[in-house]
């Protein structure tokens, strides 16, 4: 399984800047052994696609999706709409959406299943808060998030699930999770997936996210159980993200 790096711009870059980012990133030398995607705001998907043309690197990802295909759901975007831009991945249940928009495990699971049905790989985000970790509840929290999130998903087919383990205290904080703790959490996630999905769990990539940067990416990529990374802040500059992709797999 190739390792996967996903740039998560979050709420940055409208169409003009998105197009410029893609054009600049396309000039970077990128390791062929990596899958690379970029999660852009909905309004920038068209510009990103037009700057990419038919190229598939980086693959396009959305940052959210709704669970119905169409109807009276003001403001929402369906999997089918995302497919029109050739979107291959879609982040669901990012902790910022859980925190600021009240997304629940139930909503995350419906979104993940809908994306998958349409052939878009959902990137399901899970992770514990600082308090939960301090109380020794990190694994319990993540176990229950994963169990809920995959309850309506299948892992076969053309759009396998992706999981991103993102401890909340590590996001945007400069305090990344230690490789030892990361390994432990990824092992727990893998075992829950095996229990819930059986053999299909082997197609699921488990990414780490939270303050990944050029300096620490190689360490994560060589940590047992880590199949890639979800990168926020360090992906905003296309040259820096290119550097990060090269640093991920040092020759
Ligand atoms: P960060 O964000 O890399 O800026 O910590 C990661 C994320 O929230 O996906």
70 CA from centroid of ligand 1 (Å) = 31
Q: Give the integer Cα–Cα distance in Å for 163 and 122.
A: 8
Bridge partners, 208 (sequence order): 165, 229
Three-state SS sequence of 61-128: EECCCCCCCCCCCCCCCCHHHHHCCCEEEEEECCHHHHHHHCCCHHHHHHHHHHHHHHCCEEEEEECC
pLDDT surpasses 70 at 250:
no
38 CA from centroid of ligand 1 (Å) = 13
Tell me what pLDDT residue 199 has: 87
Q: Ligand 1 in contact with 192 (CB < 6 A)?
A: no
Catalytic residue ranges: 94, 166
The DSSP code for 38 is E
Tell me what pLDDT residue 54 has: 86
Calculate mean pLDDT across residues 180-205: 94
Name the pTM for this structure.
Answer: 0.96
Smallest CA separation from ligand 1 atom 7, residue: 232
Q: What is the mean pLDDT of the chain?
A: 95
Tell me what pLDDT residue 64 has: 98
Residue labelled with tokens 């996001």: 171
CATH code at position 203: 3.20.20.70
Backbone angles phi, psi at 84, to 5 degrees: -60, -20
What's the full length of the chain, in residues?
251
Please check whether residue 25 is in contact with residue 241, taking contact to mean a CB–CB distance below 8 angstroms: yes
Q: How confident is the model at residue 251 (pLDDT cuts 50, 70, 90)?
A: low
Of ligand 1's atoms, which has the minimum distance to the CA of residue 230? 9
Each residue's pLDDT tens digit, 3-62: 999 999 999 999 999 999 999 999 999 999 999 999 999 999 999 999 998 888 999 999
Each residue's pLDDT tens digit, 69-92: 999 999 999 999 999 999 999 999
Write out the residue range of the structural domain in which residue 42 sits: 3-248
Each residue's pLDDT tens digit, 127-183: 999 999 999 999 999 999 999 999 887 656 678 999 999 999 999 999 989 999 999
Q: Give the integer Cα–Cα distance in Å for 121 and 91.
A: 9
173 CA from centroid of ligand 1 (Å) = 9
Q: Ligand 1 in contact with 121 (CB < 6 A)?
A: no
Total of domains in the chain = 1
Tell me what pLDDT residue 33 has: 95
Each residue's pLDDT tens digit, 234-247: 999 999 999 999 99
């Amino acid at each position: 399984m190739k390792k996967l790096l996903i740039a998560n711009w979050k709420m940055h870059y409208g169409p003009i800047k998105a197009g410029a980012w893609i054009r600049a990133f396309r000039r970077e030398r990128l390791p062929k052994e990596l899958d690379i995607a970029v999660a852009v705001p909905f309004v920038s998907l068209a510009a990103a696609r037009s700057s990419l043309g038919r190229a598939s690197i980086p693959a396009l990802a959305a940052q959210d999706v709704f669970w119905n295909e169409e109807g009276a759901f003001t403001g929402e975007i369906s999997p089918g709409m995302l497919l029109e831009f050739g979107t291959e991945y879609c982040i669901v249940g990012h902790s910022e959406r859980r925190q600021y928009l009240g997304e629940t495990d139930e909503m995350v699971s419906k979104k993940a299943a809908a994306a998958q049905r349409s052939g878009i790989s959902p990137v399901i985000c899970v992770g514990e808060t600082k308090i939960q970790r301090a109380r020794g509840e990190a694994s319990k929290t993540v176990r229950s998030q994963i169990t809920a999130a995959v309850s309506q998903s299948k892992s076969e087919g053309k759009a396998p699930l992706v999981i991103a383990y993102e401890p909340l205290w590590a996001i945007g904080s400069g305090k990344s999770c230690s490789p030892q703790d990361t390994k432990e959490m990824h092992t727990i996630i893998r075992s829950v997936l095996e229990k819930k999905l059986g053999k299909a769990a082997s197609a699921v990539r488990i990414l780490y996210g939270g303050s990944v940067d050029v300096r620490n990416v190689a360490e994560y990529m060589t940590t047992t159980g880590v199949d890639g990374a979800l990168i926020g802040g360090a992906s905003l500059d296309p040259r820096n993200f290119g550097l990060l992709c090269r640093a991920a797999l040092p020759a």
